[in-house]
Amino acid sequence: MPRIKEVFDRLKSAGAKAVDKAMSRDREDKESPEQELQELVKSKLGVTKFVLVSNREPYVHFYSGDRVESFRYASGLTIALDSIAQATKGLWVAHGSGDADFDVVDSRNCVRVPPDDPSYTLKRISLTKSQENGYYYGFSNQVLWPLCHVAFVRPKFDAKNWEIYQQVNRLFAEAVVQEVGQENALIFVQDYHLALCTKFIKELNPNSITVLFWHIPWPNPEIFRICPWKTEILEGLLSNDILGFHLRYHAENFLKTVALEMEAKIDYEKLAVIRADKKCLVRSYPISVDFQRIDSQARLKETSQRANEIRKRYRLREEMIIGLGVDRIDYTKGIPERLMALERFFEIYPEYQKKVVFIQIGVPSRAQLEAYQETIDLIENMIQRINWKYSDSHWSPIIYVKEHQDFKAIVPFYKLADFCVVSSLHDGMNLVAKEYVASQVEGDGVLILSQFTGSARELEQALLINPYDTETFAHTIKKAVEMQAEEKRARLQRLREIVSEHTIYHWAKEITTDLARIKQGMQSETSTG
């Protein structure tokens, strides 16, 4: 009987490999996702310019001694949008933050990227320290960020920061129009830093088609109404042809806010707002990642070699169970809650001491702000205390990697990790969860995911947790550690199917299709007029 089962398993494995090869050949015969998106933009929209606008730039140039080097930000959103920019060969306008950024640009502050294989133009905006403090650290991250996240940090309303926020949004708009002129450009603006940008763009170039994607949650109306400049922000957002959110729940919250604060006609069935004959469609588009690119990166021999180097660097024995957290250090990410759960796990399950190690990659963020510095200090103190409590000369329960990481450097960590923890207290989506799933090419990793992330609406096969419930969180870590191989593979296979079917290109195609409908409507109105 055992021999029959062995033969059956071998045949089953061979069949699976044959299917994989067939799918691989099928993919090779088709256009790449990048090519498909590029053709879709051209055929549906017919625009001569595709423009991305964001606060953060995708590539940074910096000095290393007397040499100029570059790196790509490791944030999931930046990686995702970079895929779109490369596919459309367009223009990206962003704040230049690297110390060598403006030494590599041309007279228009433009540089071709990616550095190793240029395919689109990055236009950098130079901000003074005063502008950066008022617009980014001040208004964006001390008003809009805490206002939209249920993380119990009080917003700080400052009129001067509001003035600078308006000023910088206008700078971004002017930089865009400097490049596109009066062309019928498609302008894709990213996030809460630039809530007013498209309003100013429309004033300078009425021919533009604009979409703004709000990547963070939108709160309920009672929370948002405390903002002194709520009307101006809503007017800025409603100047878009499309306003996008990750979840329908956030889109509905926005419509309720408009209904409470403004005179407008709201079509709840079609999710649209009409003011002074101007229509803004309010849509939900769950963002994702470039699955194929991450999957391919994880399969490289070089990635496996780097994973082995990480194991050696941190003295991780082969039999050790490795957990992973990858976060920008922020009070919304639930890192202290994660550490409390890990501490409780080692306390109630002492048999896993010296057998489980957790690697926390923490990318420093907004340390100039008091709430962020407090979070950084809290995390470091907690890690020191937990390690002092449990570690010995051969093992520490938590390894803290506190530095910026290029995305290619993070994929080996993803591949190495037996389980990954995403414990956000409130998150619009969280792409780390999807990046981990895409990197798990061996098919045996476990994802522990906060129910308060947008990702939890899609990734139901993850182990969902309430990060505030320390006891259950600790038990869930045990469940991940002890999960049988068959269950691991079944859960991860379904997660990988979801992420591979709904990629960043699927997200972009949905938005492009809706924009095409808007363009057709505009053309019909012009011809009948």
Q: What pLDDT, on a 0 to 100 scale, did the predictor assign at position 252?
A: 94
- Determine how β-strand 356-363 pairs with β-strand 265-267: unpaired
Q: What pLDDT, on a 0 to 100 scale, did the predictor assign at position 128?
A: 95
Distance CA 107, CA 102 (A): 10
For the chain, counts of helices (H) and of strands (E): 19, 18
Distance CA 51, CA 189 (A): 8
- Determine how β-strand 67-72 pairs with β-strand 59-64: antiparallel
- Determine how β-strand 91-95 pairs with β-strand 59-64: unpaired
Do the Cβ atoms of 179 and 186 come closer than 8 Å? no
Q: What pLDDT, on a 0 to 100 scale, did the predictor assign at position 18?
A: 42
Q: What pLDDT, on a 0 to 100 scale, did the predictor assign at position 21?
A: 46
Question: Minimal CA–CA distance to 346: which of 364, 316, 323?
Answer: 323
Helix (H), strand (E), coil (C) string for 137-178: HHHHHHHHHHHHCCCCCCCCCCHHHHHHHHHHHHHHHHHHHH
352: Cβ contacts below 8 Å, ≥ 6 apart: 321, 345, 346, 478, 481
pLDDT along the chain (529 residues), means of 10: 44 42 47 76 73 94 91 71 82 94 95 92 96 96 93 91 98 96 89 97 92 95 94 96 95 95 91 90 94 94 95 92 94 96 97 96 84 90 96 93 83 96 94 96 95 96 98 98 96 97 90 82 60
Determine how many CB atoms are found less than 10 A away from the CB of residue 214.
24
12: Cβ contacts below 8 Å, ≥ 6 apart: none
Domains of the chain: 43-287+506-522 (3.40.50.2000), 291-501 (3.40.50.2000)
DSSP lists the bridge partners of residue 18 as none
Do the Cβ atoms of 328 and 76 come closer than 8 Å? no
Determine how many CB atoms are found less than 10 A away from the CB of residue 68.
16
Strands (E), 102-252: 110-113, 120-125, 186-190, 209-213, 242-245
List the Cα angle 480/481/487 in 5-degree steps. 55
Distance CA 33, CA 503 (A): 9
Q: What pLDDT, on a 0 to 100 scale, did the predictor assign at position 86?
A: 84
Do the Cβ atoms of 411 and 392 come closer than 8 Å? no
